[in-house]
Amino acid sequence: MRAQIFTILFSFFAFISATHAQEKIQDRADWEKYFAEFNAKGTIVVADERKGIRSTLVYDEARAKQRYSPASTFKIPHTLMALDAGAVRDEFQVFRWDGVARSFAAHNQDQDLRSAVRNSTIWVYEKFAKQIGEDRARDYLRKLNYGNADPTTARGNYWVDGNLAISAYEQISFLKKLYRNELPFRIEHQRLVKDITIVEAGRDWILRAKTGWEGRMGWWVGWVEWPSGPVFFALNIDTPNRMEDLHKREDIVRAILRSIKALPSG
């Protein structure tokens, strides 16, 4: 009996040790060249799960642990919250433009979920936030374990100008759960959100992602699906030149993903 117990315990701890070994974080200081190429300061976390091997690659780990406003990357969980709360029925529901001219032309028209995500149409999500309310938003954020789960704000929207904050590591953790339909929402809602965040696709791969910009810093988060497994990424950079810096988010991520063959070249 003792021998059997020992064997079981040994197998269990061997499994745990192997799992931790697979998830070992690798510092990619060499990725500094991609940030330098675009004159950008920031961090990136890449979780490569292709071929069943868990590998987390990080440039600037200290910054990867630091929390920032999620900005429009919050549209991913916010859409799930809105669907669950009944603030939106489905991807076909149309939100009529209120006629107020905004600085981004794509916002000055009727929207549905797909266009609201694609164009980062903030007025649609302001409607969702009003219907959901602060207390229910806090409950959702706690269930999601999303960053600091704080939807309070003294001015503006809590996911841009308020207290809500999340790190690059935490973005990866959230995205992994969404990929596996493990979030505390209906599976059909999780699948819908994944569908409307498709950015690009090839014969055997799909890129799902969302940008975010708080003004002083910007995000690009998402993953690439391959038959051999997903590759998750979360990048944030400072944007001192504001809109002139926004292209750098995708440029840096794409360069890094191509370097590890997580995106096709060219």
- Residue ranges of the chain with per-residue pLDDT less than 50: 1-22
pLDDT score of 265: 87
Dihedral sign, Cα of residue 36, residue 161, residue 191, residue 201:
negative
pLDDT at 23: 62
Q: What is the pLDDT of residue 199?
A: 97
Taking CA atoms, 15 is separated from 21, 22, 125, 213, in Å, by 10, 11, 44, 41
List 72, 115, 120, 167, catalytic entry: 72
pLDDT at residue 53, rounded to an integer: 74
pLDDT digits (tens, 9 = 90+) for 178-204: 999 999 999 999 999 999 999 999 999
Domains belonging to the chain, first-starting first, are: 24-259 (3.40.710.10)
Residues 211-221: pLDDT tens digits? 999 999 999 99
Burial of 173: CB neighbours in 10 Å, binned 0-12, 13-18, 19+: middle
Q: Both ends of the chain: CA-CA distance in Å?
A: 61
Task: Please report which residue ranges of the chain form alpha helices under DSSP H.
Answer: 2-22, 32-37, 61-64, 75-85, 113-118, 122-132, 134-144, 168-179, 187-196, 247-259
Cα–Cα distance, 121 to 129 (Å, whole number): 13
Residue 72 annotated to the active site: yes
Angle between helices 75-85 and 187-196 (to 10 degrees): 140
pLDDT of residue 67: 98
The confidence score (pLDDT) of residue 11 equals: 42
